[in-house]
Amino acid sequence: MIDLKSMSIEEITELLRSFGEPAFRGKQVFTWLHKGVRSFDEMSNLSKSLREKLKETCLLTPPTVARKQVSGQDGTIKYLWELADGNCIESVLMRYHHGNTVCISSQVGCRMGCAFCASTVAGKVRDLTPAEMLDQVLFTQQDAGAEVSNIVLMGIGEPMDNLDNVLKFLELVNHPDGMNIGMRHISLSTCGVLPGIARLGELGLQLTLSVSLHAPDNATRSRIMPVNRAYDVDALFAACHDYFQKTGRRISFEYAMIDGVNDTDEKADLIAKKIKGMPGHVNLIPLNDVVESPFKPSHRISAFQKRLESHGVTATVRRSLGGDIDASCGQLRRKAMEEAQKGEDSQ
Ligand code: SAH
């Protein structure tokens, strides 16, 4: 079956042309898909015979809501979506003053192995298609009845490990005949896969690149982030520098504060030293407690922030949303998988 929703207008037009349809049908079908229709029958301006032909040849398999948790504190909504093949992924809708942001997953699981992260515990199952990334935005918006204005690729998975599909997704979601979400309203987060950063830099997209730093020295970073053994801290900063030169876009460094691991003043001093000459910004994240992990949240966040600022480095503390609903990445999927496992064990 053809994955129609992962295709550009031009590709859809070409396909429909091969069915003997006129060129303008491509845009019609694309527009319907990006409105979030659930069946070809909803495409009311197409002939019945074309709708039948599309049903026979193309996929249209919206995800279903497997679980949904709404925060009583701030209206954050966490979705566990079940995909057509039974795999589950998460998205989170966050409501900010500047608009609604949806955090989406890029893979089923993750193979990066960060020691503090719930998404990677059971490894990677598969990459998501462009359509499966788009569907998270479309159906979160539809289900929540809240217009999405910003997207962050910070859910389950490593976007740079699925970059072809991620780039295609960006092209789709950015398209004026689709959701038309501007690149400046999109952030992509990576643990530091350097070939991906280089490739993205060449494209010069105006999105925001977030880099998960979490430690400024190789000993600590390699311990908590295996990717550092392949691409070390200095190579990472060099790649970030290059990225800034090429795109003119300031990089956001994510830094989850872990008790006794990366939260000393010396670490802040080293970050300041290495970030020098690059307009970067450090986003301090209160560590989410993951059951499987030995790491605990640090109590030194504001001291660390002050230390960074004393060196002239801008640092913000991420406001935690959805603290009452397992809203951090990978936790809901883990929980559902464990419960399914327990169910099987007890049978
Ligand atoms: N793979 C990408 C994007 C997904 S993770 C990346 O690594 O950037 C999104 C962010 O959440 C990353 O900065 C990641 O390091 C961070 N994160 C993972 N587990 C966390 C936890 N337990 N507490 C706080 N942040 C965490």
User: What average pLDDT score do residues 123-139 get?
Assistant: 98
Model confidence band, residue 293 (pLDDT cutoffs 50, 70, 90): confident
**Ligand 1 pocket mutation, candidates 104, 110, 112, 154, criterion most atoms within 8 A of CB:** 154
**Would you say residue 347 has pLDDT above 90?**
no
CA-proximal residue: ligand 1, atom 19 (nearest): 117
**Would you say residue 80 has pLDDT above 90?**
yes
Measured at the CA of 108, the angle between CA 106 and CA 109, to 5 degrees, comes to 105
pTM, 2 dp: 0.95
**Would you say residue 34 has pLDDT above 60?**
yes
**Would you say residue 327 has pLDDT above 70?**
no
CA-proximal residue: ligand 1, atom 10 (nearest): 154
pLDDT in tens, 39-63: 999 999 999 999 999 999 999 999 9
User: Is 49 in contact with 56 (CB distance < 8 Å)?
Assistant: no
Residue 21 and residue 81: Cα distance in Å, rounded?
34
pLDDT in tens, 201-218: 999 999 999 999 999 999
**Ligand 1 pocket mutation, candidates 107, 114, 209, 281, criterion most atoms within 8 A of CB:** 114
CA 310 to ligand 1 center in whole angstroms: 26
Average pLDDT taken over every residue of the chain: 94
User: What average pLDDT score do residues 288-292 get?
Assistant: 78
Crossing angle, helix 130-144 and helix 163-173, to 10 degrees?
40
Domain boundaries, given as residue ranges, for the chain: 2-59, 64-346
pLDDT in tens, 164-192: 999 999 999 999 999 999 999 999 999 99
Does ligand 1 lie within 6 Å of residue 158's CB atom? yes
Q: What's the pLDDT score for residue 40?
A: 98
Determine the topology of domain 64-346 in CATH: TIM Barrel (3.20.20)
Does ligand 1 lie within 6 Å of residue 211's CB atom? no
Of 331 and 107, the one with more pLDDT: 107
**Would you say residue 325 has pLDDT above 80?**
no
pLDDT in tens, 240-277: 999 999 999 999 999 999 999 999 999 999 999 999 88
User: Is 321 in contact with 102 (CB distance < 8 Å)?
Assistant: no
Model confidence band, residue 233 (pLDDT cutoffs 50, 70, 90): very high
User: Is 76 in contact with 325 (CB distance < 8 Å)?
Assistant: yes
Phi, psi values for residue 146, rounded to 5°: -130, 125
Residue 252 DSSP code: E
Find where tokens 């997207």 sit: 151
Q: What's the pLDDT score for residue 326?
A: 67
Task: Give the catalytic positions in this structure.
Answer: 90, 329
Residue 291 and residue 151: Cα distance in Å, rounded?
28
**Would you say residue 153 has pLDDT above 90?**
yes
Q: What's the pLDDT score for residue 211?
A: 98
User: For the domain with range 2-59, which CATH number is right: 3.60.150.10, 1.10.150.530, 3.90.1150.10, 3.40.50.9100?
Assistant: 1.10.150.530
